[in-house]
Amino acid sequence: MQIVAESQDFYRSSEVQLEGDKAPRTSMIEFRSLPPGTYEVRVTVMGSGGEQRAFARQQVNVIASGADR
């Protein structure tokens, strides 16, 4: 599974190996310290042969936290 968070000025991605039918049905991925802004978040699940099995995309707004001020 590949997870991407991308804005005009920032890009971060991560890949997580899933264990097929033994993988949890829900996974939580955290990208810490993203700069504030509007991001497109994309998740792609790949099959064992490298083929795309599922894809989701969502636009999110990251706001500054009190700790960042």
Half-sphere exposure of 19 (CA within 13 A, CB side): 6
Which residue reads 């991001």 in tokens?
Answer: 39
pLDDT at 69: 52
- What the block records as the tokens of 38 is 């509007």
- The overall average pLDDT reported for the chain is 89
3-state class (DSSP) for residue 67: helix
Q: What is the mean pLDDT of residues 10-31?
A: 86
Read off the pLDDT of each residue in 8-31 and give the average, rounded to a whole number: 87
Q: Does 63 have pLDDT greater than 60?
A: yes
Higher pLDDT, 48 or 4: 4
CA dihedral 54, 4, 61, 8 (to 10 degrees): -130
- Say yes or no to pLDDT of 14 above 60: yes
* pLDDT average, residue stretch 21-34: 84
Count CB neighbours of 31 within 10 A.
Answer: 15
